[in-house]
């Protein structure tokens, strides 16, 4: 790998005797990994779960095809192993209010949701419009039911949610040095000036993020760079600027090492931060710090809960669908909200949106059409087995037809007409409508693809 001369010289000076092994590690292949989805009641039969990531509750080394049942159904999420350490460090508990401030493409968000289950509120935000749509797709594919997905600036988030969150994750945009093996094109953008620009941006983001923390709340800061300017020096700035913050220790295993106070202001508290170096462990480069707010920094504002707005006619259509196609579901009217003709289930305790740019206000339940209700793809992936009246097991060949958008015949359908959920390899894959013995395909047009069956 053709690393910049200034990059090499910088880390030779910083790492000393370790620099040789560190620089040699850039010639090794990137490490692949995936997490299994605890929202799913069972996993695909052919998943290779023989090589677990020791510090990750649901993580494994290995590569998953993006055109497989496991990936499409949300049974797994492809994620680089070092990145899993970030979610494990945050590890929110049930019913917490959690913010993922810089969330796209969704790896950290889906990991946070694994800890929360269906409880609490997960506000997940991405400032870039196109990337926020990718975030929404990944959140829905993972079956996350309690996420409010936003497309906002940190400033707006801080103003709307002062002193609100128990856990805040800032996986900050950075110079990406730790991902050079995975994305060599990132080398083109690297320069000492770019590193400094990133550090300034990170401070700006963190200054807003801390405003959203409630007393006793935790802030997890992470980057995928080795640059001290963006890592230890950023945390040193944070501690100096906000005396209300304290650094919490992080358990370090599998070659993860302490941060370097000497690369910042010498504050010994910085040894509690964590560095992930590819020459010391199986994974790419990361930095992680965990801090706690010891006293109130920003007074919370009183906010009413967002209320549902379902009309009487819409409720009749929804009730008809539920009676025919679902069971064991409880969707309180106060949590049912429409955006146009689209219906969503709000997460519990969702505050009023105000003027927030909302990408998804919760779990997408479906669409109101003239005289009927059509269930959403997201709902098919989120509901447990016993919540759907008619689950139809299909073959891998039929699954390939589904994701390609084709209609097909199927033996032994449980209804002559009506909605069924298609299941392949024990995984829910989509809703479909049975019409005259044929399975009418409702797999989203924008997500269709040619499957790899080998």
Q: Which residues are annotated as a binding site for S-adenosyl-L-methionine?
A: 102-108, 126, 171
What strands, in cross-sheet order, belong to the sheet with 76-78?
A: 59-61, 33-36, 76-78
Placement of tokens 């991405």 in the chain: 126
- Are the CB atoms for 195 and 229 separated by under 8 Å? yes
Strand 213-223 versus strand 59-61 pairing type: unpaired
Rounded to whole angstroms, the Cα distance separating 185 from 384 reads 41
- From the candidates 174, 198, 224, 424, which is the catalytic residue? 224
333 to 351, 369, 411, 416: CA distances (angstroms): 16, 19, 38, 31
Rounded to whole angstroms, the Cα distance separating 278 from 389 reads 49
- CA angle at 265 for the pair 297 and 206, rounded to the nearest 5°: 35
- CA angle at 123 for the pair 122 and 124, rounded to the nearest 5°: 110
Placement of tokens 């609490």 in the chain: 120
- Are the CB atoms for 339 and 116 separated by under 8 Å? no
What the block records as the tokens of 407 is 């209609």
Rounded to whole angstroms, the Cα distance separating 210 from 9 reads 35
* Catalytic annotation present for 424: no
- Are the CB atoms for 318 and 373 separated by under 8 Å? yes
Rounded to whole angstroms, the Cα distance separating 131 from 228 reads 27
Strand 417-424 versus strand 427-435 pairing type: antiparallel
Alpha helices in 282-334 (DSSP H): 312-325
- Are the CB atoms for 115 and 218 separated by under 8 Å? no
Rounded to whole angstroms, the Cα distance separating 348 from 94 reads 12
In DSSP terms, 420 is beta-bridged to: 432
28 to 25, 81, 179, 181, 293: CA distances (angstroms): 5, 15, 12, 8, 40
Which parts are annotated binding residues?
102-108, 126, 171
What the block records as the tokens of 350 is 């969702």
In terms of Cα–Cα distance, which of 296, 247, 297 is closest to 273? 247
- For residues 171-185, one letter each, b for 16 or more C-beta atoms within 10 angstroms of the residue's C-beta and e for the rest, the string is bbbbbbbbbbbbeee
The residues annotated as belonging to the active site are 224
């Amino acid at each position: 790998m053709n690393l910049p001369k200034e990059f090499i010289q910088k880390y030779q000076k910083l790492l000393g005797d370790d620099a040789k092994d560190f620089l040699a590690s850039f010639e090794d292949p990137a490490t692949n990994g995936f997490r299994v989805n605890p929202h799913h009641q069972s996993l695909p039969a052919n998943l290779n779960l023989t090589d677990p990531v020791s510090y990750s509750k649901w993580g494994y080394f290995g590569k998953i095809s993006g055109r497989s049942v496991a990936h499409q159904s949300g049974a797994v999420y492809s994620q680089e192993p070092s990145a899993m350490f970030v979610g494990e460090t945050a590890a929110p508990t049930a019913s917490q209010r959690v913010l993922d401030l810089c969330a796209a493409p969704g790896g950290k968000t889906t990991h946070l949701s694994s800890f929360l289950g269906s409880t609490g509120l997960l506000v997940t935000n991405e400032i870039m419009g196109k990337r926020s749509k990718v975030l929404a797709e990944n959140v829905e594919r993972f079956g996350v039911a309690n996420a409010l997905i936003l497309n906002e600036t940190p400033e707006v988030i801080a103003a709307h949610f002062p002193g609100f969150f128990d856990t805040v994750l800032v996986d900050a945009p950075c110079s990406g040095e730790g991902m050079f093996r995975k994305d060599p094109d990132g080398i083109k953008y690297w320069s000492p000036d770019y590193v400094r620009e990133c550090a300034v941006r990170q401070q700006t983001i963190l200054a807003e993020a801390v405003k959203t923390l409630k007393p006793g709340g935790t802030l997890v800061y992470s980057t995928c760079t080795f640059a001290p300017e963006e890592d230890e020096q950023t945390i040193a700035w944070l501690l100096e600027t906000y005396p209300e913050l304290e650094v919490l220790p992080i358990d370090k295993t599998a070659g993860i090492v302490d941060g370097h106070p000497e690369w910042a202001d010498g504050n010994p508290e910085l040894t509690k931060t964590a560095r992930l170096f590819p020459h010391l462990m199986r994974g790419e480069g990361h930095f992680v710090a965990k801090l706690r707010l010891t006293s109130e920094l920003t007074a919370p504002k009183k906010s009413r809960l967002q209320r549902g707005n379902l009309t009487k006619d819409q409720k009749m259509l929804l009730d008809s669908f539920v009676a025919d196609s679902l069971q064991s579901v409880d969707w309180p009217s106060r949590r049912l909200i429409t955006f146009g003709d689209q219906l969503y289930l709000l997460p519990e305790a969702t505050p009023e949106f105000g003027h927030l740019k909302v990408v998804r206000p919760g779990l997408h339940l479906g669409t109101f059409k003239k005289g009927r209700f059509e269930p959403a793809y997201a709902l098919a992936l989120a509901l447990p087995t016993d919540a759907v009246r008619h689950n139809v097991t299909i073959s891998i060949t039929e699954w390939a037809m589904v994701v390609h958008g084709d209609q097909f015949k199927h033996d032994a359908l449980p209804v002559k007409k009506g909605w069924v959920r298609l299941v392949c390899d024990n995984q829910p894959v989509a809703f479909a409508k049975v019409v005259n013995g044929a399975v009418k395909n409702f797999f989203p047009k924008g997500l269709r693809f040619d499957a790899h069956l080998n």
